[in-house]
Structure 1
Amino acid sequence: MKDFSGFEAAAHAEVTGRIKPIMAATFRRCGLGEVWDDELWHRVIGDAYVSAYPSPALPLLVHPLLDALQTQLEHENRTAPVGHPPRPLRMRASIHVGPITDPEDDPVTDGSGTSRVDTHRLLDSTEVKQALARAGEKTCVAAIVSDRAFTDAVLGGYCELSRELFTPVDVAVKNYRERAWLAVPVPSGDLLARGIEPLTAEDPSGGEVGAEGNTRQGDAGKKSAQDVGMTGIGSVGGDATNTFVGNSGRISISGNPAPSPRPRKRRDDS
């Protein structure tokens, strides 16, 4: 959730409590109720939601889920504003795919692996933070998709969205160095004036972006090294797709294309 700390302390519990119902409504809004019911794992962490789904759901997490999240947040902000004075609910999301562990439902180590770490790095990147910070309040979602997920879902032709709707960026967070792809379902504000591509130190207006976008005069373009946010987690072995939505918002999915060796029931542990 963007600017979670900007809400007064008394509103934090309400914001956290709204996240899971928002995600459930988002999945059902775009006809993905069965995907939501097939969730393998989730955690609510402060202002973030982390969940894992079988990897065949990957293209659907890119589209129509991101567009539906924008629409759902517009609805929430219009009908049930939060805070005094009210502040819009806006989210960053990261989507990744890769293997993660499923060690017998151990809540401490469940979902461990490089794929989970990489999803955190994507969500914490300057590029997606800056995209949401530069946008106006009508932009409720800024998403970043890993290169692997983009190649599989979009370039592979399994997603209805065209490559032209994504902007390539080179992400550098701590020791993570990878190409990724930005998507903003409803651009507004400075994104309409200058485009979604991140501003750099050479841009004459590079100092205009707020602190969350990490573009200040003199250090524009530096990468964020903060390790916050949520992660998605997957099933036993194989490919897991991570979808994270949260504050550090994320949308993640994980899973295994092969049947799970043991039955899985949806676990609502928030």
Structure 2
Amino acid sequence: MSQSDQPMPEASALPYSRSRQLPPYRGIVAVDAKDFTGYPAIEHGMISQAVPQVLQWSFERAGLAEVWHGRRFPASTGDGYVFGFDPAWMPFLIHPWLHTLQEVLTEFNVNSVGTVRIRLRVSLHIGPLPDSGGEFDGNGTPRNDTHRLLDSRPVKAMLAASNESITQVAAILSDRCYDDAVAGGFTGRHPDHFIEVPATVEGKRFDQRAWLYVPAPSGNLYDRRVLGDAVVGEHERAQAAAAEPAAGQADGGRAGSGPVSYRADRGNVNGGGTVHGGQHVTNVEGGQQVTNVEGDQQVTKVRGDYAGRDFVRGDSFGGDYVAGHKAGTVHGNQGDTFHGDKKERRR
């Protein structure tokens, strides 16, 4: 055979070198036992053996024995377990399986008083992974990300901050998993059961949006140690906005033409800008500064100095009539009679 008849060498696996089919999409589930390294070494083997046993019980009790028996590229991680499955089952792993796993672990821990207690972190993800029955199947970025999610700060902190007698499972879903199964409406849990978190891993270049789900929550779900300041701050701002009455129009948030009322007992009411509409000030003791009030102004029971900047247009009710600049001439009766500037001596 001449050299020209030799077959071309098989294409390498270098990325971006040629187009090829995607591997099949697989759901990936990984679990880790909390504080595994904190147990004496003599108990590590017991925990490694108990974790897959608990998983099998939970899948069978949840009516998902088919998923367990059909698992792809299963592997023990020492303190946990990982395997792939048909992603069509993902909604059922989110619910009811996670809830059933919580129940099975509760029973296991109650019956193992004085011995090992197991609490599990769970991560769920979806992505393309090699799955041809080979020795090295299941390796790829989705598998790596599943383990990163499992080691991320929010799910670890959630399990640590919760009551060990109540919360046995804390799960974290990748954004892809959440979008496909939860936001898509395919799982038996409303999106409000899930909390968005920034998933980061100390010492690793990993930062993704993810979603926490705790079947039996305890403690403070909005703990800053769990969710991070950014997420908690956004939650607090949303709560504050929901508590405030609707205000502002489409003109950039400027107040509408309705009256504006302020109450400042034993203090000051200061206006830093223009108020459009009436202004009603009640029971103010001390100094008061009003800036750029357009419309009616009612002042009741004011004690102390009353100074106005810029201009006041309209009528002022409450027994007094003020016209022009309020720091200048005041016409009318304000309890005592003044003629001219209010800063002059009383008559």
Q: TM-score range with shorter-chain normalisation? A: 0.5 to 0.7
Q: Are residues 119 and 176 of structure 1, via their aligned partners in 2, closer, same or farther at CA, if it must alter by over 3 Å?
A: same
Structure in which a larger fraction of residues adopt helix: 1
1:177 and 2:204 aligned: no
- Tell me what 1:51 maps to: 83
- Quick one: distance in 2 between partners of 1:136 and 1:181? 20
Structure in which a larger fraction of residues adopt strand: 2
- Quick one: distance in 2 between partners of 1:199 and 1:175? 17
**Equivalent of 2:65, from 33, 37, 46?**
33
- Tell me what 1:99 maps to: 128
Q: Are residues 196 and 161 of structure 1, via their aligned partners in 2, closer, same or farther at CA, if it must alter by over 3 Å?
A: farther
The one-letter code matched in structure 1 to 2:126 is V
User: Where in structure 2 are the equivalents of 1:207-226 lying within 5 Å?
Assistant: none
- Tell me what 1:259 maps to: none
Q: Deviations over 1:176-213 (max 9, x none)?
A: 3321100111112344x859952549x9xxxxxxxxxx
- Tell me what 1:165 maps to: 193
- Tell me what 2:327 maps to: none
- Tell me what 2:245 maps to: none
- Tell me what 1:144 maps to: 172
Kindly state the Cα deviation for residue 78 of structure 1 after the two structures are TM-superposed: 1.0
User: Where in structure 2 are the equivalents of 1:54-93 lying within 5 Å?
Assistant: 54-81=86-113, 85-93=114-122
TM-score, normalising length from structure 1? 0.68
The one-letter code matched in structure 1 to 2:188 is E
Unaligned runs of 5+ in 1: 204-270
The one-letter code matched in structure 1 to 2:141 is T
1:133 and 2:160 aligned: yes
SS in 1 for 2:227: coil
Taking only the aligned residue pairs, the percentage that are identical comes to 40
Q: Deviations over 1:23-47 (max 9, x none)?
A: 0000011111122122122111211
Kindly state the Cα deviation for residue 102 of structure 1 after the two structures are TM-superposed: 2.4
Unaligned runs of 5+ in 2: 1-32, 233-347
The one-letter code matched in structure 2 to 1:147 is D
SS in 2 for 1:52: strand
Aligned-pair Cα RMSD in Å: 2.2
Which has the larger displacement, 21-30 or 171-180?
171-180
Kindly state the Cα deviation for residue 60 of structure 1 after the two structures are TM-superposed: 1.0
Q: Are residues 68 and 164 of structure 1, via their aligned partners in 2, closer, same or farther at CA, if it must alter by over 3 Å?
A: same
- Quick one: distance in 2 between partners of 1:52 and 1:181? 20
Kindly state the Cα deviation for residue 147 of structure 1 after the two structures are TM-superposed: 0.5
Larger Rg: 2
Given that residues 136 and 190 in structure 1 are in contact (C-alpha distance below 8 angstroms), is that contact kept between their aligned partners in structure 2? Answer: no
Q: Deviations over 1:122-181 (max 9, x none)?
A: 111101111001001021011100010001001111101000000001223323332110
In the alignment of these two chains, the number of paired residues is: 197
- Quick one: distance in 2 between partners of 1:67 and 1:104? 31
Given that residues 43 and 51 in structure 1 are in contact (C-alpha distance below 8 angstroms), is that contact kept between their aligned partners in structure 2? Answer: yes
Q: Are residues 117 and 139 of structure 1, via their aligned partners in 2, closer, same or farther at CA, if it must alter by over 3 Å?
A: same
TM-score, normalising length from structure 2? 0.53
